[in-house]
Chain A
Amino acid sequence: MLRYVIERVLLIVVTMFVVITLNFFLLQLIDGSPFDNGKITPVQVEMMKRKYGLDAPPMEQYLRYLKGVVQGDFGTSFKLQNKEVKDLIADKLPNTVKIGSMALIFGVIVGILLGALAAIYRNSFWDHFVTVLAVVGVSIPSFVMAAFLQYYFVVKLGWFPFLFQEPDVDKGITVWMSVHSMLLPAFSLSFYVISATMRYMRSELVEVLNSDYILLARAKGLNKSQVIMRHALRNALIPVITIIGPMAISLLTGSLVIEQFFGVPGLSKLLLNAVYQNDYFLILGVNSFYSFLYVVIVLIVDLLYGVIDPRIRLKGGN
C-alpha cells in the first residue's frame, strides 16, 4: 500500500511538471503583457518588462520560474500590489472550498438517496420523478439556477441575503450569518451534483439489484432491506465514488459564474481577473493549483476506492 502511495505521489510530481511547462509556454503565446495600459508609453513598458525579467528569452524565464517553484516561490502578482501568488491563493481559497464542499457534500448525499430510492422503487412514480429531475438538473446551467434562486428566495421571500458575506466582527457579521449567505450559492452549485450522482447511483443500483449475488442474498432468506443495506448499496457505491473526484474539481473550477453572481471573493474570481490582466504568474499559480487539486483528489478517490472495494485494495497491496 505504502509503495503504491509513493508511486502515485511521484506520478503527481511528474504531472505537475508537465502542467506547469505546458501552461508556461501557452501563456507565452498570448498577446500583450501585464503592463498594457493606455497611460504608459512603450518605453516605460519595456522598462517594466526588464525590471520583472520579462524581456529574457522564454527558455530562460521558464527555467527561472521552475527554479522558483522548486524552492516554493510561485512569483508575485503584477497587478495586486505585488502580493505573492501563494498568499493570494491562500487568501481566496477558503471561500471557494467552503461553498464547493458544502455543495458537494449536500449534493452527493441527496443524490445517492434519491438515486437509491429510484432504483429500489423502479418504474414507480418516484423513479420517473427523479429521472425527470435529473434531466432538468443536468440541463439547467448553474447560473440560470442561481438567477432563479436569487429571484425567488432573495427577492420574493427574503430568506437569504443577496451577496456572500465574509465573517467580520467590525461589520457585525457573525460566522452563522456568513454560512447563511453561503447556502444559496452552494445550493445552486449542488443542483448539478445531485442530478449527476442520482443518475449514476440509480443505474448502478439497478444493475447491482439484478446481479446474481443479490439473488443469492435473497435465496439466503434475507429480507429486502437487509439485501439492500448489506449487499446492494456498497457494491453500487463503488462506481459512484469515482465520479465524486472529478465532480469536486468541476465544482471548484466551475464555480466561476456562481462566484460572480453572489459576489464571492474566491479562487475563480481571482483567476478570471488574472486572465483579463495578463497577470502571468497569478494565472500560472492558480492553474497549477487547480491541477494539483485535481491530481490529489483523484489520488484520494483511488485510495478511497481501495477501502471500499477489496479487489483493488489487495492488488495494490501486494
Chain B
Amino acid sequence: MAKKVLEVKNLEVNFRTFSGEVKAVRDVSFDVYEGETLAIVGESGSGKSVTVKAIMGLLASNGYYKNGEILFEGKNIATMQEKELHNIRGNRIAMVFQDPMTSLDPTMKIGKQIMEVIRLHQKASKEEAYQKAIKLIELVGISDPEERMNQYPHQFSGGMRQRIVIAIALACEPKILIADEPTTALDVTIQAQILDLMKDLQKKIGASVIFITHDLGVVANVADRVAVMYAGRIVEVGTADEVFYDPRHPYTWGLIASMPDLDTQGKLYAIPGTPPNLVSPPKGDAFALRSEYAMKVDFEEQPPFYKISNTHYAATWLLDERAPQVTPPEIIVKRREKMKGVR
C-alpha cells in the first residue's frame, strides 16, 4: 500500500451564525495516499468544500475546528498557527478553485501572479521566477508565454484562466493538490481538456489530488478512490469501481440513479426531499428522512462504517447482519450487471 500523505481524523468543523452553530463537517475521517486521486462527491452543502478548506486552513472567519486532526507531514493543520500555514499553503498543499473567471486578480498581470507564488516559497530571484513562470505557462499548454506573461486575466478565456490557476497551484510542486470543482464553471469540451491536463501534470510532479465535485461523470474520469459525503459526513468510501458499480449506501444509490447514461429513458430519477439543516442535524442516519430504505434504527442511531472490502466502507444499517435483505433500485442492479459484463 502506498504511503499516506494526509490523514484526516474525526474532523469536525462548525460555523457560528445568527441562527446557531452550523455543524458543516461532522466526524469526517479519511486518508490520502501518495500519488492517488481521491474524489469527494456530494450535493451542495454536504460539507465537501468546507472539508478541503479546513485542510488548507482557509475557513471563513466564523468557522472553527471543533474537533479532530488533520495530519500532514507529521503536523496537525487544525491547530497550526497562521504563520506556519503560510509555508504550507501554495507550497506543500495548493488549491484550484471553482470559478476561473473570478479567481485571478483582475488588476495584476498574469506573469506577476504566477511569479508571486514562486518568489514567496522558493526564495527565487526575479529572473529565476520569470523563467520558471514561462515554463509553467508552457506546461499548462498556453502558447506565446512571454506575451501572455504581460497580459491581464480579462484577456484570457475561462479555460485558459483555469490553466493559469493550475499553473499557480503547481508552481511549487505541492505534495497535495486540492481541486474544488475545477471544471464546474467551464463548458464540457474545456472540462475534458482541463481534466486531462490535471491528470497529466499530476503524473509529472507526483502529487496527490483531492478532487471535489458533484459531477459523477468527472469522478469516473479522474478518481482512483471516491468518498461520498452527505450532510457533513462521509457515508461511503471505496475505489472508483466499487462506488460506481457496487454502491452500498442508499444515498450513493440515489446519486448514481440520478446520473443519466446512454440507456436512460423517460424521466430522470431525482432524490426526493432536501438535505437536512445542519444547525440541528437529525439523529441517526441523516439520509433516513429521504430514503425509502430507512429502518427504525436509522432515525435513532448513527450507523458505523461496515467493511465491504479492504478499500470499501459504507455507513448504513442495511449492511448490518440483522438488517433485512433489500434490493437496490433497478438501475443500480442493471449497472452492476452491465459492469460485470465489461470487466
Which of B85, B155, B165, B168 is within 8 Å of A314, CB to CB? B155
Whether a CB of chain B sits under 8 angstroms from the CB of A302 is no
A221 close to B107 (CB less than 8 A): no
| Cα separation A117 to B297 with both chains bound (whole Å) | 53
Residue in A212, A219, A308 whose Cβ sees the most chain B Cβ within 10 Å = A219
B116 close to A215 (CB less than 8 A): no
Question: For residue A235, which residue of chain B has the nearest CB?
Answer: B107
| Cα separation A216 to B120 with both chains bound (whole Å) | 14
Whether a CB of chain B sits under 8 angstroms from the CB of A223 is yes
B105 close to A220 (CB less than 8 A): no
Q: Which of A63-105 contact B (CB under 8 A)?
A: none
- Using A211-B102, A219-B58, A221-B91 as known contacts, say yes or no to A238 and B107 having CB atoms under 8 A apart: yes
| Cα separation A50 to B106 with both chains bound (whole Å) | 63
- Using A221-B87, A221-B89 as known contacts, say yes or no to A310 and B97 having CB atoms under 8 A apart: no
Whether a CB of chain B sits under 8 angstroms from the CB of A217 is yes
B152 close to A219 (CB less than 8 A): no
Whether a CB of chain B sits under 8 angstroms from the CB of A166 is no
Q: How far does the Cβ of B152 sit from chain A's closest Cβ, in whole Å? A: 4
B117 close to A310 (CB less than 8 A): no
Question: For residue A238, which residue of chain B has the nearest CB?
Answer: B107
Which of A215, A222, A238, A308 is within 8 Å of B86, CB to CB? A222
Whether a CB of chain A sits under 8 angstroms from the CB of B94 is yes
A310 close to B154 (CB less than 8 A): yes
Residues from chain B with a CB closer than 8 A to the CB of A234 are: 107-108
A213 close to B152 (CB less than 8 A): no
Interface size class of B (residues with CB under 8 A): 20 to 34
Q: Which of B88-140 contact A (CB under 8 A)?
A: 88-91, 94-95, 97-99, 102-109, 116-117, 120-121
Which of B102, B103, B104, B117 is within 8 Å of A221, CB to CB? B117
Question: For residue A313, which residue of chain B has the nearest CB?
Answer: B152
B117 close to A212 (CB less than 8 A): no
Whether a CB of chain B sits under 8 angstroms from the CB of A218 is yes
Residues from chain A with a CB closer than 8 A to the CB of B121 are: 221
Interface size class of A (residues with CB under 8 A): 20 to 34
Q: How far does the Cβ of A208 sit from chain B's closest Cβ, in whole Å? A: 10
Binary flags per residue of A294-311, CB closer than 8 Å to B gives 1, else 0: 000000000000001111
Q: Which of B58-93 contact A (CB under 8 A)?
A: 58, 82-83, 85-91
- Using A220-B120, A222-B116, A311-B152 as known contacts, say yes or no to A215 and B168 having CB atoms under 8 A apart: no
A219 close to B99 (CB less than 8 A): no
Residue in A220, A223, A231 whose Cβ sees the most chain B Cβ within 10 Å = A220
Question: For residue B116, which residue of chain A has the nearest CB?
Answer: A220
29 CB-based A-B contacts, threshold 8 Å: A211-B102, A212-B99, A213-B105, A213-B106, A215-B97, A216-B104, A216-B105, A216-B165, A216-B168, A218-B58, A219-B58, A219-B90, A219-B97, A221-B85, A221-B86, A221-B87, A221-B89, A221-B90, A221-B121, A222-B86, A222-B90, A223-B83, A230-B108, A231-B105, A231-B108, A234-B107, A309-B107, A310-B152, A311-B152
The chain A residues found within 8 Å of chain B, CB to CB, are 211-213, 215-224, 230-231, 234-235, 238, 308-311, 314
